[in-house]
Amino acid sequence: MPEIDVLDAIHSTRAQRYLKPDPIPEETLWELLDAAVRGPTGGNNQGWGWIVIRDPAIKREIAHVYEDRLKRAYGYERVSDEALGAARITRGGVLEGDTGIDARNRRGVIHLAEHFAEAPVIVAPVLTEAGLAEDTRHAGAGLGASIYGAVQNLMLAARAHGLGSVFTWRLEEGSGFNELLGLPEAARVMCLIPLGELARGSFTQPRRRPLAEVVHWDRWGERRERG
């Protein structure tokens, strides 16, 4: 296992959407998944499964669904980068000042959509009983608490191995993924994580708003400068 300081890993694990198609050794994948399952799970229930997708045909089927829905969500055909300019676009394709995604990041998102099947590995984290929730949409936060911490572990472990990753959202129940992946009826794919060596970009610290703007002390609105 490569050695990297945990804080260095946290500060440099950013969304990597430009990935090489080079294969990832199977032993490396086992190590990433072993790190993943050390993550939090409600009541230590571990009601999850992890599908490691390397089959080119399955990856192409996933990519077809993913590309179509993602391009529509980000207004790919409705708003050009030139028209977008310095503004941003929401997933609904509506320009809203400084919210949403900017042109540069949208180019990365679209690149991933168009090359999704080329990632050597796509990991699909699954909650085996997510479909039993009375209202899956409103139960999402509670459901996610039992797997998304483990997903972050997976991505941090990938960073330790010099591999890029990106968290992509779960798709609607009508995506056909259950049938494609042979999942039980009550199971749901909670996100998709493509993995691979970096084809572009680097492991640098992502830009974030200053801590003093987003951290509140004891009550909302009580802020202080970092010493």
Residue 105 included in any domain: no
Residue 141 included in any domain: yes
Residue 226 included in any domain: no
Q: Indicate the DSSP class of residue 128.
A: T
CATH code (residue 15): 3.40.109.10
Hey, which residues does 169 pair with through a beta bridge?
191
Domain enclosing residue 189, as ranges: 6-54+120-214
Residue 114 included in any domain: no
pTM over 0.75: yes
Spatial contact of 126 and 148, defined as CB atoms under 8 Å apart:
no
* d(C-alpha 206, C-alpha 22), whole Å: 25
Which run of H or of E encompasses 65? helix 56-73
Q: Radius of gyration of the chain from Cα atoms?
A: 19
Its sign, for the CA torsion 89, 94, 97, 98, is: negative
Residue 135 included in any domain: yes
pLDDT tens over the chain, length 227 residues: 668 999 999 999 999 999 999 999 999 999 999 999 999 998 888 999 999 999 999 999 999 988 887 777 666 665 666 666 666 666 555 455 555 666 677 788 888 989 999 999 999 999 998 887 665 544 555 678 889 999 999 999 999 999 999 998 766 667 788 899 999 988 989 999 999 999 999 999 988 889 999 999 999 999 999 88
Residue 41 included in any domain: yes
CB atoms within 10 A of CB 99: 11
Q: What are phi and psi of 50, to 5 degrees?
A: -130, 115
Which run of H or of E encompasses 93? none
Residue 72 included in any domain: no
Count of domains for the chain: 1
Strands of the chain (E only): list them: 48-53, 121-127, 164-165, 168-169, 188-189, 191-196
Q: What three-state secondary structure class fits 160? A: helix
pLDDT digits (tens, 9 = 90+) for 112-131: 989 999 999 999 999 998 88
Task: Say which amino acid occupies 114.
Answer: E
